[in-house]
Amino acid sequence: MSTESIDPDLKEIDRWPLERAIAAILAGQGRAVAAVAQVSPQIADAANAAAGRLGSSGRIAYAGAGTSGRIGVQDGVELTPTFGWPEDRLAFFLAGGPDAMMRAVEGAEDDEHAGRMAVSDAGLGRADVLIALAASGRTPFTIGAVREARERGALAIAFANNPDSPLMAAAGEHGILLATGPEAIAGSTRLGAGTAQKAALNALSTAIMLKLGLVYRGLMVNMRISNAKLEGRAIAMIESVAGADADRAKDALAMAEGDIRTAVLIALGLDRAAARQALSTGEPFEALVERLRA
Protein backbone atom coordinates (compact mmCIF):
# COMPACT_ATOMS: atom_id res chain seq x y z
CA MET A 1 0.00 0.00 0.00
CA SER A 2 1.30 3.42 -0.90
CA THR A 3 0.51 4.87 2.53
CA GLU A 4 2.60 2.16 4.21
CA SER A 5 5.65 2.42 1.97
CA ILE A 6 8.80 4.32 2.90
CA ASP A 7 9.67 7.49 1.02
CA PRO A 8 13.33 6.98 0.06
CA ASP A 9 13.95 10.72 0.30
CA LEU A 10 12.88 10.70 3.97
CA LYS A 11 14.36 7.49 5.31
CA GLU A 12 16.95 9.43 7.32
CA ILE A 13 14.48 11.98 8.68
CA ASP A 14 15.12 10.94 12.29
CA ARG A 15 18.77 11.96 11.85
CA TRP A 16 18.08 15.37 10.33
CA PRO A 17 18.11 18.71 12.16
CA LEU A 18 14.58 19.40 13.39
CA GLU A 19 14.09 22.44 11.17
CA ARG A 20 14.73 20.30 8.09
CA ALA A 21 12.47 17.51 9.38
CA ILE A 22 9.63 19.92 10.12
CA ALA A 23 9.96 21.48 6.66
CA ALA A 24 9.66 18.02 5.10
CA ILE A 25 6.62 17.15 7.23
CA LEU A 26 4.89 20.41 6.29
CA ALA A 27 5.70 19.91 2.63
CA GLY A 28 3.92 16.57 2.90
CA GLN A 29 0.90 18.29 4.40
CA GLY A 30 0.79 20.63 1.43
CA ARG A 31 0.88 17.70 -0.99
CA ALA A 32 -1.95 16.08 0.97
CA VAL A 33 -4.20 19.10 0.49
CA ALA A 34 -3.24 19.22 -3.19
CA ALA A 35 -4.38 15.60 -3.50
CA VAL A 36 -7.81 16.65 -2.23
CA ALA A 37 -7.98 19.47 -4.76
CA GLN A 38 -7.47 16.90 -7.52
CA VAL A 39 -10.78 15.23 -6.65
CA SER A 40 -12.90 18.33 -6.04
CA PRO A 41 -15.33 17.37 -8.86
CA GLN A 42 -15.99 14.01 -7.19
CA ILE A 43 -16.49 15.70 -3.83
CA ALA A 44 -18.96 18.11 -5.42
CA ASP A 45 -20.88 15.22 -7.00
CA ALA A 46 -21.02 13.48 -3.63
CA ALA A 47 -22.22 16.66 -1.89
CA ASN A 48 -24.99 17.13 -4.45
CA ALA A 49 -26.11 13.55 -4.02
CA ALA A 50 -26.04 13.84 -0.23
CA ALA A 51 -28.07 17.06 -0.14
CA GLY A 52 -30.64 15.45 -2.41
CA ARG A 53 -31.04 12.53 -0.01
CA LEU A 54 -31.11 14.33 3.32
CA GLY A 55 -34.21 16.47 2.86
CA SER A 56 -35.82 17.55 6.13
CA SER A 57 -35.21 14.38 8.12
CA GLY A 58 -32.17 12.47 6.82
CA ARG A 59 -29.10 11.86 8.96
CA ILE A 60 -25.41 12.36 8.28
CA ALA A 61 -23.38 9.47 9.68
CA TYR A 62 -19.64 8.87 9.87
CA ALA A 63 -17.80 5.55 10.01
CA GLY A 64 -14.13 4.84 10.64
CA ALA A 65 -11.47 3.44 12.92
CA GLY A 66 -8.51 4.99 14.70
CA THR A 67 -7.31 8.28 13.23
CA SER A 68 -9.85 8.16 10.42
CA GLY A 69 -12.74 7.56 12.81
CA ARG A 70 -11.70 10.41 15.08
CA ILE A 71 -11.40 12.79 12.12
CA GLY A 72 -14.94 11.86 11.12
CA VAL A 73 -16.28 12.56 14.59
CA GLN A 74 -14.50 15.93 14.64
CA ASP A 75 -16.11 16.94 11.36
CA GLY A 76 -19.58 15.83 12.39
CA VAL A 77 -19.75 17.43 15.82
CA GLU A 78 -18.83 20.80 14.31
CA LEU A 79 -21.89 20.81 12.04
CA THR A 80 -24.24 21.63 14.90
CA PRO A 81 -22.62 24.81 16.24
CA THR A 82 -21.52 26.14 12.85
CA PHE A 83 -24.53 25.29 10.68
CA GLY A 84 -27.26 24.50 13.20
CA TRP A 85 -27.43 20.89 12.01
CA PRO A 86 -29.62 19.00 14.52
CA GLU A 87 -27.74 16.68 16.85
CA ASP A 88 -30.39 14.01 16.39
CA ARG A 89 -29.58 13.97 12.66
CA LEU A 90 -25.98 12.89 13.29
CA ALA A 91 -24.64 9.38 13.89
CA PHE A 92 -21.12 8.15 14.55
CA PHE A 93 -19.83 4.61 14.04
CA LEU A 94 -16.36 4.43 15.56
CA ALA A 95 -14.62 1.08 15.80
CA GLY A 96 -14.36 0.31 19.49
CA GLY A 97 -17.18 2.69 20.43
CA PRO A 98 -16.92 6.06 22.21
CA ASP A 99 -13.93 4.93 24.27
CA ALA A 100 -11.90 4.80 21.06
CA MET A 101 -12.03 8.59 20.81
CA MET A 102 -9.48 8.86 23.62
CA ARG A 103 -7.50 5.63 23.40
CA ALA A 104 -6.79 2.80 20.98
CA VAL A 105 -9.13 -0.20 21.22
CA GLU A 106 -7.12 -3.16 20.03
CA GLY A 107 -8.63 -5.28 17.28
CA ALA A 108 -11.85 -3.27 16.99
CA GLU A 109 -11.20 -2.23 13.41
CA ASP A 110 -10.89 -5.86 12.27
CA ASP A 111 -14.54 -6.70 12.98
CA GLU A 112 -16.64 -6.26 9.85
CA HIS A 113 -19.72 -7.61 11.61
CA ALA A 114 -19.46 -4.87 14.25
CA GLY A 115 -19.51 -2.24 11.51
CA ARG A 116 -22.62 -3.81 10.02
CA MET A 117 -24.34 -4.04 13.39
CA ALA A 118 -23.60 -0.41 14.24
CA VAL A 119 -25.34 0.74 11.08
CA SER A 120 -28.19 -1.74 11.51
CA ASP A 121 -28.79 -0.75 15.13
CA ALA A 122 -28.94 2.91 14.12
CA GLY A 123 -31.58 2.07 11.51
CA LEU A 124 -29.94 3.90 8.62
CA GLY A 125 -32.20 4.07 5.58
CA ARG A 126 -32.80 5.74 2.24
CA ALA A 127 -32.86 9.31 3.53
CA ASP A 128 -29.50 8.93 5.28
CA VAL A 129 -25.91 9.50 4.17
CA LEU A 130 -22.92 7.54 5.49
CA ILE A 131 -19.45 9.08 5.12
CA ALA A 132 -16.72 6.48 5.63
CA LEU A 133 -12.96 6.93 5.96
CA ALA A 134 -10.02 4.53 5.96
CA ALA A 135 -6.52 5.47 4.85
CA SER A 136 -5.74 1.87 3.88
CA GLY A 137 -9.14 1.37 2.29
CA ARG A 138 -9.10 -2.12 3.82
CA THR A 139 -10.48 -1.63 7.34
CA PRO A 140 -13.08 -4.39 7.88
CA PHE A 141 -15.19 -2.42 10.39
CA THR A 142 -15.57 0.49 7.97
CA ILE A 143 -16.20 -1.72 4.96
CA GLY A 144 -18.89 -3.56 6.91
CA ALA A 145 -20.57 -0.26 7.79
CA VAL A 146 -20.60 0.82 4.15
CA ARG A 147 -21.93 -2.48 2.88
CA GLU A 148 -24.73 -2.52 5.45
CA ALA A 149 -25.63 1.11 4.75
CA ARG A 150 -25.94 0.54 1.02
CA GLU A 151 -27.95 -2.64 1.50
CA ARG A 152 -30.36 -0.61 3.60
CA GLY A 153 -30.67 2.02 0.84
CA ALA A 154 -28.51 4.76 2.37
CA LEU A 155 -26.12 6.80 0.27
CA ALA A 156 -22.47 5.92 0.97
CA ILE A 157 -19.49 8.22 0.40
CA ALA A 158 -16.04 6.81 1.13
CA PHE A 159 -12.55 8.29 1.24
CA ALA A 160 -9.48 6.07 1.02
CA ASN A 161 -5.81 6.89 0.47
CA ASN A 162 -4.86 3.77 -1.50
CA PRO A 163 -6.14 3.00 -5.01
CA ASP A 164 -8.38 0.07 -5.92
CA SER A 165 -9.27 -0.56 -2.30
CA PRO A 166 -12.21 -2.66 -1.04
CA LEU A 167 -13.70 0.38 0.71
CA MET A 168 -13.92 2.37 -2.50
CA ALA A 169 -15.45 -0.62 -4.26
CA ALA A 170 -17.99 -1.06 -1.46
CA ALA A 171 -19.05 2.60 -1.72
CA GLY A 172 -19.65 2.35 -5.45
CA GLU A 173 -20.24 5.61 -7.29
CA HIS A 174 -18.91 7.80 -4.50
CA GLY A 175 -15.70 5.98 -3.58
CA ILE A 176 -13.09 8.75 -3.68
CA LEU A 177 -9.31 8.30 -3.73
CA LEU A 178 -7.12 10.76 -1.84
CA ALA A 179 -3.76 9.89 -3.40
CA THR A 180 -1.40 11.12 -0.71
CA GLY A 181 1.32 8.49 -1.21
CA PRO A 182 3.92 7.58 1.45
CA GLU A 183 3.87 9.27 4.82
CA ALA A 184 6.80 11.37 6.02
CA ILE A 185 7.24 8.74 8.74
CA ALA A 186 6.10 5.25 7.80
CA GLY A 187 3.93 3.25 10.20
CA SER A 188 1.01 5.62 10.78
CA THR A 189 -1.36 7.58 8.58
CA ARG A 190 -1.95 10.48 10.98
CA LEU A 191 0.13 12.89 8.86
CA GLY A 192 -0.54 13.24 5.11
CA ALA A 193 -3.46 10.84 4.88
CA GLY A 194 -5.11 12.30 7.97
CA THR A 195 -4.67 15.85 6.71
CA ALA A 196 -6.20 14.92 3.36
CA GLN A 197 -9.16 13.27 5.05
CA LYS A 198 -9.82 16.33 7.22
CA ALA A 199 -9.58 18.67 4.24
CA ALA A 200 -11.88 16.44 2.20
CA LEU A 201 -14.45 16.33 4.99
CA ASN A 202 -14.24 20.10 5.44
CA ALA A 203 -15.06 20.51 1.76
CA LEU A 204 -17.74 17.81 1.61
CA SER A 205 -19.75 18.71 4.70
CA THR A 206 -19.55 22.45 4.02
CA ALA A 207 -20.68 21.88 0.44
CA ILE A 208 -23.65 19.87 1.71
CA MET A 209 -24.61 22.75 4.01
CA LEU A 210 -24.26 25.20 1.11
CA LYS A 211 -26.54 23.08 -1.06
CA LEU A 212 -29.11 22.85 1.74
CA GLY A 213 -29.28 26.65 2.00
CA LEU A 214 -27.71 27.02 5.43
CA VAL A 215 -25.31 29.72 4.24
CA TYR A 216 -26.26 33.16 2.91
CA ARG A 217 -23.77 35.32 1.02
CA GLY A 218 -20.84 33.62 2.72
CA LEU A 219 -22.33 33.94 6.21
CA MET A 220 -23.16 31.09 8.61
CA VAL A 221 -26.67 32.38 9.21
CA ASN A 222 -27.82 29.13 10.80
CA MET A 223 -25.08 28.83 13.43
CA ARG A 224 -25.95 28.32 17.09
CA ILE A 225 -25.12 31.13 19.48
CA SER A 226 -23.41 29.72 22.55
CA ASN A 227 -21.29 32.61 23.85
CA ALA A 228 -20.85 36.37 23.75
CA LYS A 229 -18.39 36.22 20.87
CA LEU A 230 -20.85 34.37 18.66
CA GLU A 231 -23.67 36.72 19.70
CA GLY A 232 -21.56 39.62 18.45
CA ARG A 233 -21.00 37.84 15.15
CA ALA A 234 -24.71 37.13 14.83
CA ILE A 235 -25.62 40.78 15.41
CA ALA A 236 -23.09 41.81 12.76
CA MET A 237 -24.64 39.33 10.31
CA ILE A 238 -28.13 40.71 10.92
CA GLU A 239 -26.87 44.25 10.41
CA SER A 240 -25.23 43.25 7.14
CA VAL A 241 -28.06 41.16 5.68
CA ALA A 242 -31.03 43.25 6.83
CA GLY A 243 -29.37 46.64 6.59
CA ALA A 244 -30.30 47.30 10.21
CA ASP A 245 -28.41 49.28 12.82
CA ALA A 246 -26.83 47.50 15.79
CA ASP A 247 -29.69 48.20 18.21
CA ARG A 248 -32.32 46.96 15.77
CA ALA A 249 -30.26 43.86 15.04
CA LYS A 250 -29.78 43.10 18.74
CA ASP A 251 -33.49 43.53 19.48
CA ALA A 252 -34.42 41.31 16.53
CA LEU A 253 -32.06 38.59 17.72
CA ALA A 254 -33.62 38.68 21.17
CA MET A 255 -37.13 38.47 19.71
CA ALA A 256 -36.00 35.53 17.56
CA GLU A 257 -34.63 33.75 20.63
CA GLY A 258 -31.20 33.52 19.07
CA ASP A 259 -32.21 32.24 15.62
CA ILE A 260 -30.28 34.38 13.14
CA ARG A 261 -32.43 33.77 10.07
CA THR A 262 -35.60 34.54 12.00
CA ALA A 263 -33.93 37.67 13.37
CA VAL A 264 -33.05 38.86 9.88
CA LEU A 265 -36.68 38.59 8.79
CA ILE A 266 -37.82 40.41 11.95
CA ALA A 267 -35.31 43.18 11.26
CA LEU A 268 -36.79 43.40 7.76
CA GLY A 269 -40.27 44.04 9.16
CA LEU A 270 -41.97 40.73 10.01
CA ASP A 271 -43.12 39.79 13.48
CA ARG A 272 -41.73 36.60 15.04
CA ALA A 273 -44.66 34.38 14.11
CA ALA A 274 -44.67 35.56 10.50
CA ALA A 275 -40.90 35.15 10.25
CA ARG A 276 -41.04 31.58 11.51
CA GLN A 277 -43.93 30.79 9.21
CA ALA A 278 -42.02 32.17 6.23
CA LEU A 279 -39.01 30.02 7.05
CA SER A 280 -41.17 26.92 7.41
CA THR A 281 -42.53 27.15 3.85
CA GLY A 282 -39.32 25.89 2.26
CA GLU A 283 -38.81 29.08 0.27
CA PRO A 284 -35.05 29.72 0.02
CA PHE A 285 -33.80 32.15 2.64
CA GLU A 286 -32.18 34.29 -0.03
CA ALA A 287 -35.52 34.64 -1.83
CA LEU A 288 -37.25 35.65 1.41
CA VAL A 289 -34.63 38.31 2.09
CA GLU A 290 -34.74 39.71 -1.43
CA ARG A 291 -38.54 39.86 -1.38
CA LEU A 292 -38.63 41.71 1.93
CA ARG A 293 -35.89 44.10 0.89
CA ALA A 294 -37.62 44.98 -2.39
Q: Which residues are catalytic?
A: 78, 109
For residue 157, what are the contacts with CB-CB under 8 A and spacing of at least 6?
Answer: 46, 49, 50, 129, 130, 131, 132, 171, 174, 176, 204
Q: Give the gyration radius of the chain's Cα atoms.
A: 22
Answer for the pair 82, 236: CB distance below 8 angstroms, yes or no.
Answer: no
For residue 29, what are the contacts with CB-CB under 8 A and spacing of at least 6?
Answer: 191, 192, 195
Pick the closest to residue 241 from 266, 258, 208 (CA basis): 266
Concatenated DSSP letters for 10-40? GTTGGGS-HHHHHHHHHHHHHHHHHHHHTTH
For residue 8, what are the contacts with CB-CB under 8 A and spacing of at least 6?
Answer: none
CA distances from 160 to 113, 125, 183, 283 (A): 20, 23, 14, 37
**At how many degrees (to 10) do helices 285-293 and 260-267 cross?**
20
